[in-house]
């Protein structure tokens, strides 16, 4: 089996036709990669589409779990990924054809995390084709607050696998919101090293009306506030 530099983990759940766009984008990537499509117990045709997509490619995998939430799905992919870098993509979003390649190039520069620009209500004011380097503190400032250019989301980033393991890091499966912010901020807080950012938009977040974010209630929002209190407390590790 060919050893891939990058592993891509995609959680899915009742995505309907939305997943077709991402699958088409994954098929056009400019480098080879390992793919884990981890379905969270879909009851629509999502898994049928996933299984058709991976046919004939031994580096592409589909797993269907019982419905337990996005963090359980991501953690499954995290446990089984074999690449030097791990990329998380949401199953209803879109990526550029060179998305995986550019993130791979960022890690090849010796970075512990590589980040690319995204479009979701906003986009970077200036888009460039060269990575800029950020130190640990600067990156933590970016990933620990809402509305920053880098963002605390996991889906526009590649994480060095060895650094995730060194931090003993997984997604908190008890959370309904901001689990990605907590993962990213915890990674940065416990991982000194080089961080790189390319402001070119290579990831497009799509607004799906029935997504977890749009269905969040007051309890979920209170939980999110508590998560950010946890995130702010992590700053002590890098000061």
More confident residue, 176 or 101: 101
The pLDDT score that the predictor gives to residue 200 is 97
Q: How open is the CA angle 130-35-25, to the nearest 5 degrees?
A: 60
The pLDDT score that the predictor gives to residue 204 is 97
Mean pLDDT of 63-78: 98
Distance from C-alpha of 217 to C-alpha of 65, rounded to nearest angstrom: 25
How far from 187 is each of 112, 120, 143, 213, CA to CA, in Å?
10, 23, 10, 23
**Complete DSSP assignment for 107-137:** HHTT-SEEEEEEESS---SS--SS-EEE-HH
Q: Which range (56-70, 80-94, 218-232) has the least confidence?
A: 218-232
For helices 218-233 and 179-189, angle between their N-to-C axes, nearest 10 degrees? 0
The pLDDT score that the predictor gives to residue 238 is 85
User: Are 137 and 238 contacting, i.e. CB atoms less than 8 angstroms apart?
Assistant: yes
Q: How does residue 176 score in pLDDT terms, banded at 50, 70 and 90? A: confident
The pLDDT score that the predictor gives to residue 111 is 97
User: Are 205 and 118 contacting, i.e. CB atoms less than 8 angstroms apart?
Assistant: yes
Average confidence score pLDDT of the chain = 93
Distance from C-alpha of 209 to C-alpha of 229, rounded to nearest angstrom: 28
The pLDDT score that the predictor gives to residue 168 is 96
**Complete DSSP assignment for 5-71:** SEEEEEEESS-TTHHHHHHHHHHT-SS--EEEEEE----SSHHHHHHHHHTT-TTEEEEE--S--HH
Q: How does residue 1 score in pLDDT terms, banded at 50, 70 and 90? A: very low
Residue 30 burial (CB count, 10 A): 12
Say yes or no to pLDDT of 209 above 90: no
Q: How does residue 122 score in pLDDT terms, banded at 50, 70 and 90? A: confident
At residue 205, the 3 state secondary structure works out as coil
Mean pLDDT of 91-103: 98
Closest CA to 40 of 90, 114, 79, 82: 90
Mean pLDDT of 18-24: 97
Closest CA to 159 of 195, 200, 201: 195
Strands (E), 59-214: 60-64, 85-88, 94-95, 113-119, 132-134, 157-160, 195-204
Mean pLDDT of 75-80: 98
Mean pLDDT of 36-60: 97
Say yes or no to pLDDT of 27 above 80: yes
* pLDDT tens by residue, 124-160: 989 999 999 999 999 999 999 988 999 999 999 999 9
Which residue shows structure tokens 């993509």?
89
Say yes or no to pLDDT of 77 above 70: yes
Say yes or no to pLDDT of 219 above 90: no
């Amino acid at each position: 089996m060919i050893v891939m530099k990058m592993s891509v983990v995609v959680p899915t759940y009742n995505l309907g036709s939305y997943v077709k766009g991402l699958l088409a984008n994954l098929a056009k990537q400019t480098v080879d990669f390992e793919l884990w499509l981890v379905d969270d117990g879909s009851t629509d045709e999502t898994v049928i589409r996933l299984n058709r997509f991976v046919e004939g490619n031994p580096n592409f995998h589909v797993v269907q779990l019982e419905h337990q939430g996005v963090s359980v799905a991501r953690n499954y992919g995290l446990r089984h990924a074999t690449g030097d870098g791990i990329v998380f993509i949401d199953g209803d979003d879109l990526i550029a054809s060179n998305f995986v390649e550019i993130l791979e190039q960022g890690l090849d520069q010796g970075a512990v995390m590589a980040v690319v620009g995204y479009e979701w209500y906003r986009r970077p004011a200036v888009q460039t084709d060269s990575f800029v380097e950020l130190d640990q503190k600067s990156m933590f400032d970016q990933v620990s607050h809402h509305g920053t250019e880098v963002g605390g989301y996991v889906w526009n980033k590649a994480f060095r696998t060895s650094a995730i393991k060194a931090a003993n890091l997984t997604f908190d499966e008890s959370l309904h919101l901001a689990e990605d912010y907590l993962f990213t901020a915890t990674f940065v807080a416990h991982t000194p090293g080089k961080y790189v950012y390319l402001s070119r938009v290579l990831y497009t977040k799509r607004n799906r009306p029935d997504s977890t974010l749009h269905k969040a209630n007051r309890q979920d929002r209170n939980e999110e506030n508590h998560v950010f209190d946890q995130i702010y407390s992590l700053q002590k590790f890098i000061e």
